Structure 1
Amino acid sequence: MASVAVGKKRRVPALGWWLMVVGTVRLAFTWSCFFGSAALCSATYSQAQVSDVHGRTVGVWTLLSCTLCFLCAFNLDNKPLCLATFLSFVYAYGYFVVEYLVYHSVGASTLAALGFFADSDTLWLGTHPVPPILTVLPSGPVHVKSIQTYEWIEHCIHKIID
């Protein structure tokens, strides 16, 4: 992590502010999933019946991603945290794309609204001065015959840690 001189305030860059906005939206969604079964959570799954258990499960998952947004907003120099936040957007949007295409439990308008946040965050985090994905992947070509999958994953993990 970058060191900050004593007495100097650390400014939050625009990406940090945007992640706080997204985290706040996710926090509102979490609240809705826990306490308002007819509100945002049910509206997201407009094509399917939402049980209380499903709503709370989605709420906990969203609360976790909300936490990642806020932690990343204040620690944009932390590669593993940026990577985890980046992947949370990829996984969440991937989940909703599957719900739309395979199970037809979300509508196109919901997918578009979620895509606005997921796509903008994924692009912004992916091009951040410490791009989480680009700094993790091994440099140079990776030949499938010369490196086993688990070795490649181990290499990526060591790149994150180092």
Structure 2
Amino acid sequence: MRGHFPQTADSLPLRDIHLPPNPPWWPPAPGWWVLVAIVCAAAVLGYLLYRRARRARVWRERVLAEVRRLADRHAHNDAAYATALHQLLRRAAWRYAEDAHHVQGEPWRHVLAQVSVDDVTLDTLMTLEARMYQPHAEFDRAAVEEAVRRWLQAAWRRMKPMEMGRA
């Protein structure tokens, strides 16, 4: 049996294919949310790294300015200059040993040796202690100042940003 439609094909009210409406711009697709989260995380990480580097740079500049200020202040007094540099080293060494403010001799050398510097630098730094207590001890200002700078630079490379305010 064949079906018979009551209407002809020309008389049927057919319309063309309808396209769905354009998707709305809000809320974005999940991929856009992931991209926004990645960009935000990268921005926060970049800011934290910048702040850490800036804090380290400011700390280094302060320490080097302090060394220059001590050299200018004690330009004609080697004993006072040695004492001031020694005190600066003790403040910086406090990170490596809680008793760094009162150890002397070989224990002080061990505290200084916790920072990876060569033996010549350590020997030069140990002359500070001798120069403080012996007015006529051998003392080379330029060599001692350079040794202090080398030790401080090596010390702040190991130092974490949270600890920089303490030294």
TM-score by length of 1: 0.31
Which protein has the larger Cα radius of gyration, Structure 1 or Structure 2?
2
TM-score by length of 2: 0.31
